[in-house]
Amino acid sequence: MMSLNNRSIISNSSPISSIRRKIPSSPNSKKIPFPSKISMEGAASNKSIKRWFWTKDEDVKLKKGIAELYDESSEMWENLWGDHMHHGYYDVHNMDDDGSNVSLSHHRTAQRRMIQEALLFASVPEDPMAKPKRIVDVGCGIGGSSRYLAKKYGAECQGITLSPVQVQRAQALTAAEGLQDNVTFQVADALNQPFPDGQFDLVWSMESGEHMPQKSKFVGELARVVAPGGRIIIVTWCHRDLSSAEKSLRPEEEHLLKKICDAYYLPEWCSPSDYVKLLESLSLQDIKTADWTDNVAPFWPAVIKLALSWKGMTSLLRCGWKTIKGALVMPLMIEGYKKGLIKFAIITARKPE
Ligand SMILES: C[S@@+](CC[C@H](N)C(=O)[O-])C[C@H]1O[C@@H](n2cnc3c(N)ncnc32)[C@H](O)[C@@H]1O
């Protein structure tokens, strides 16, 4: 492994671990009514951080819970933050640790920068002949990344999410920008994608991997749908890598992660090294990872500050219990980062030609 500034690069012979976060708003968002909420039964149970098997019943409950969480909370997130439901990327040395003196527009710029930094890190070509033409946005939220990527590359983009409300909202925002011919959305499972093999030049997963119950199946699907020569980008929450002497996280660490799992419908955590191993096992190339935990540090404090504002509190109270439960757990994310337990990681790879 070698180091480039804050970026650790791992080649085809090394190991990885995973986390997660929420959404922001476009100028059009106020004009387009948000689809009505869809109520569902069920909640995920998180018995341990690493799962070696996963029952059908658990799977159904988890996916219902995720769909319901995002059906319930996406409008609030969009009203407060806009159409990107992910962390911002900040300059480590130009920012207070708690981000308290930073404007909302700066945070939104940081969220777009997250996308730009991920594309740079993965060396996605800009050249007109080589740039991506077909993109899949796996766990697309309300389509912030899908629209960004489609516009940047003049590409077709297909987004998938478990939330029917997100699909409707993503379609409405996309139509408002006149992108509906190139950018489409559907409810579909990332672990069983409705696409043929080798379909996409760029497979994009921005803060959705942490929701996936079987990381090997998740990564296997990403590798299946990427075209030869195409790139996979995973930006996700991980737990720290284990040392060679460790077989598992410490009990108090597992305890903290489980509380976060319960609130956010995260079935299992893994390390960046685990992701690298999975990508290696599928013979992918140019496998790289970096720890961007320091670069996202101002984000959660800003989310909490906005949630505690009058607008934040009233929006939160209009959402359901799942969203309120998620808000109560936000300080645990900061605790996890500060303790070095939670890592904000990017993992990228390329499929051989
Ligand atoms: C935190 S949001 C991120 C949204 C988007 N990537 C963004 O950055 O704005 C997580 C997304 O992952 C989706 N998701 C979680 N599990 C999924 C699964 N098994 N299949 C498809 N989407 C999933 C959720 O529905 C939600 O849209």
Residue whose C-alpha is closest to residue 294's, from 149, 138, 164, 117: 117
User: Residues 16-31, buried b or exposed e (16+ Cβ, 10 A)?
Assistant: bbbbbbbbbbbeebee
Per-residue pLDDT tens over the stretch 183-201: 999 999 999 999 999 999 9
Check pLDDT > 50 for residue 126.
yes
Tell me how far apart the alpha carbons of residues 84 and 87 are, in angstroms, rounded to a whole number. Answer: 8
Tell me how far apart the alpha carbons of residues 163 and 87 are, in angstroms, rounded to a whole number. Answer: 20
Q: Which CATH class, in words, describes the domain spanning 2-25+55-350?
A: alpha beta
Per-residue pLDDT tens over the stretch 288-324: 999 999 999 999 998 888 888 888 888 888 887 788 8
pLDDT of residue 95: 63
> Are residues 71 and 163 in contact, defined by beta-carbon separation less than 8 angstroms?
yes
Pocket of ligand 1 contains residue 279 by CB under 6 Å:
no
Pocket of ligand 1 contains residue 207 by CB under 6 Å:
yes
Tell me which of 98 and 59 has the higher pLDDT.
Answer: 59
pLDDT of residue 11: 35
Check pLDDT > 90 for residue 114.
yes
Encoded tokens for 27: 């100028």
Q: Calculate how far, in angstroms, residue 189's C-alpha sits from the geometric centre of ligand 1.
A: 10
pLDDT of residue 308: 85
* Best residue for ligand 1 mutational test, from 108, 115, 161 (most atoms within 8 Å of Cβ): 161
Q: What is the mean pLDDT of residues 9-33?
A: 36
Check pLDDT > 70 for residue 282.
yes
pLDDT of residue 312: 83
Neighbouring residues of 339: CB distance < 8 A, sequence distance ≥ 6: 253, 256
Which atom of ligand 1 has the smallest separation from the CA of 20?
1
Residue whose C-alpha is closest to residue 169's, from 82, 86, 80: 82
* Residue 51: band (very low, low, confident or very high) from pLDDT cuts 50, 70, 90: low
Residue whose C-alpha is closest to residue 20's, from 222, 315, 265: 265
Which residue is listed with tokens 């956010």? 264
Coil vs helix vs strand at 98: coil
Residue whose C-alpha is closest to residue 118's, from 285, 21, 234: 234
Q: Calculate how far, in angstroms, residue 146's C-alpha sits from the geometric centre of ligand 1.
A: 12
> Are residues 173 and 200 in contact, defined by beta-carbon separation less than 8 angstroms?
no
Which residue is listed with tokens 């922001």? 24
Check pLDDT > 80 for residue 244.
yes
* Best residue for ligand 1 mutational test, from 19, 140, 160 (most atoms within 8 Å of Cβ): 140
Helix, strand, coil shares of the chain, percent, nearest 5, are 40, 20, 40
pLDDT of residue 32: 53
Tell me how far apart the alpha carbons of residues 23 and 3 are, in angstroms, rounded to a whole number. Answer: 31
Domain boundaries, the chain: 2-25+55-350
The residue contributing the CA closest to ligand 1 atom 12 is 139
Pocket of ligand 1 contains residue 149 by CB under 6 Å:
no
pLDDT of residue 90: 93
Q: Calculate how far, in angstroms, residue 244's C-alpha sits from the geometric centre of ligand 1.
A: 32
Encoded tokens for 30: 């106020």
Check pLDDT > 90 for residue 26.
no
Q: Calculate how far, in angstroms, residue 212's C-alpha sits from the geometric centre of ligand 1.
A: 9
Q: Calculate how far, in angstroms, residue 194's C-alpha sits from the geometric centre of ligand 1.
A: 16
Check pLDDT > 80 for residue 170.
yes
Check pLDDT > 50 for residue 141.
yes
- Average model confidence (pLDDT) across the chain: 85
pLDDT of residue 55: 84
* Residue 46: band (very low, low, confident or very high) from pLDDT cuts 50, 70, 90: very low
> Are residues 296 and 88 in contact, defined by beta-carbon separation less than 8 angstroms?
yes
Pocket of ligand 1 contains residue 189 by CB under 6 Å:
yes
Residue whose C-alpha is closest to residue 137's, from 80, 209, 89: 209
Which atom of ligand 1 has the smallest separation from the CA of 190?
20
Q: What is the mean pLDDT of residues 117-134?
A: 97
Neighbouring residues of 4: CB distance < 8 A, sequence distance ≥ 6: none
pLDDT of residue 100: 62
Tell me how far apart the alpha carbons of residues 266 and 120 are, in angstroms, rounded to a whole number. Answer: 28
Q: Is pTM beyond 0.85 here? A: yes
Check pLDDT > 90 for residue 37.
no
**E strand spans, the chain:** 2-4, 7-9, 134-138, 156-161, 183-187, 200-206, 226-239, 285-291, 342-350
Pocket of ligand 1 contains residue 139 by CB under 6 Å:
yes
Q: What is the mean pLDDT of residues 142-154?
A: 98
* Best residue for ligand 1 mutational test, from 25, 61, 66 (most atoms within 8 Å of Cβ): 66
115 φ, ψ (degrees, to nearest 5): -65, -45
Encoded tokens for 272: 């960046």
